[in-house]
Structure 1
């Protein structure tokens, strides 16, 4: 099994000129790693509250503001199991936003197969399955969480992650000092292994010739110079990279205006080994040159 900075603390103040703590709401599917993510934030110095009723979140932020800087960062784990609970959460977050408190929602996701496997391994029922099967509980919870997932600032898919890999993702997103304006993850993947469920934008590189069919290139990956040169020597490859990077400048500016701080860009080819890897590396260099902090992940590069 098994995913912010300090600028809010120094700039936002409460009614009594107290510094307002940063707030992160951790939610997601049961079994997707909420507890692990909370523990990671706790180890990074965050004040973590598990299963706090949503109506009390503004009170917790107010108490943090009154601590005179002793509680600069608060993470709240919420377990959404009903429509009323979700409505209360939305109202609390809306109240905080209207009061000038900036917050982020971290959503932990995983595939049905991974969740079933995890529940079976610990021999525990899903909290929402009732008299049904584990898959029934997962389906009900996924339906209840659909709106919250759509509004989340950061979605992390833990289907293929172990605890250490999830911790690394959390460290990459939350361990820094001053938070960048926008942080991007560029992920190469293979379409034959499925779309990344946490992707905000998806790019298809299958219009380019596949190096897999070149015998001397087949054993290599898009990280190797000979494969990268082959990919970008193809008609349209460099033009595609140039124009998509230009498009992302427009998108990034819009994300900043809307307060969105995280974006995952998935770049796909057939197997996720050659074209998508080379294009992801080229795209990440363009983003970093534009001042976007970027992490590159090659999801399927090691698959046979």
Structure 2
């Protein structure tokens, strides 16, 4: 029997918003490089029209990304409602880019641009107004990326990590190792502390190695008392939450695993957590934020 060809997969719809100076333009450029049809500074009320025109001209399989921010004025208040009521089969993802006020001020000063809500006041006042306007959107975003400690290349890596396979509806888990002395990742959904394990730093023959590339370091970490018990208890919890995220339509989860410097214990445990999640069918990727900083 001759089979009817299946229709092409419907492309994603990604809405990028966030604080001024947090990296919206960088995210838009990376999405364009990934094959998205990108529209910047779009009034939210025109979002359905853009999707319809792309469907008609390029087909529903063409992924679309739009950048929306406070420059849209009063139209901005309509964004969440328009996303929820869109009449399309596209999977919609709301991405919110954020950063600390200190970093945002520094970036704006380097760019020598006034804040759109600043008026005759100081730049910081404009940021405070923007945070109030953005509060609800940030709370409802599918993916929040804090760019405080990210450079341009690291931000593009995060966007590629999230949208490099257009059309997928699988949950994507990033297991991020970090050093507490460099600060906790503020955009993490979960934070686990590995400082209860003995530190390989104090073993002379292990000090120079790390938990990713040195099997002896990783083996030392995995065989310390409590390590396997932690993994056996923690990974099933993450798997249960992952299933709940999918039921609620969330497709991104970020798990932070920390130790003192982000070199030995957290790296080894992040690698093992990601491996176990993948073994159970969850798309998980280890990311080592502070490896190499020492």
Q: What TM-score do you get using the length of structure 1 for normalisation?
A: 0.85
SS in 2 for 1:173: helix
Instruction: Tell me the equivalent position of 2:4.
Output: none
* Number of aligned residue pairs: 287
Q: Which residue of 1 aligns with 2:3?
A: none
Q: Residue 67 of structure 1 aligns with which residue? A: 57
1:95-115 residue CA offsets vs partner (Å, 9 max, x unmatched): 117x65531011212222322
2:77 paired residue among 80, 84, 87: 87
Answer yes or no: is the 8 Å Cα contact 1:40–1:170 preserved in 2.
Answer: yes
Do the aligned partners of residues 225 and 47 (structure 1) sit closer, same or farther apart at CA in structure 2, a change above 3 Å counting? same
Query: 1:81: how far off?
Result: 6.2
Secondary structure at the aligned position of 1:181 is classed as coil
Do 1:199 and 1:266's aligned partners in 2 also have CA atoms closer than 8 Å?
Answer: yes
* Among 161, 164, 178, the residue aligned to 1:189: 178
Deviation, 1:237, is: 0.6
Deviation at 1:276, TM superposition (A): 0.9
Q: Matches of 1:177 and 1:102 in 2, distance apart?
A: 10
TM-score, with normalisation over the residues of structure 2?
Answer: 0.88
Match of 1:111 among 86, 100, 117: 100
Gaps of 5+ in 1: 1-8, 13-20
Unmatched 5+ residue regions in structure 2?
1-6
Q: How does 1:211-230 map to 2 (within 5 A)?
A: 211-223=200-212, 224-230=214-220
Measured in 2, the distance between the counterparts of 1:246 and 1:41 equals 33
Shift of the 129–215 alpha-carbon distance from structure 1 to 2, 3 Å rule, reads farther
- Alignment check: 8 A CA contact 1:47 1:71 kept: no
Relative to structure 1, is the Cα distance of residues 57 and 205 closer, same or farther in structure 2, using a 3 angstrom cutoff?
A: same
Distance 1:199 1:81, change over 3 A: farther
- RMSD of the TM alignment (CA)? 2.3
Shift, 1:185, TM fit: 0.8
- 2:129 alignment partner in structure 1: 140
* Contact 1:38–1:77 under 8 Å retained in 2: yes
User: What is the aligned partner in structure 2 of residue 179 from structure 1?
Assistant: 168
C-alpha change, 1:100 and 1:195, in structure 2 (3 Å) is: same
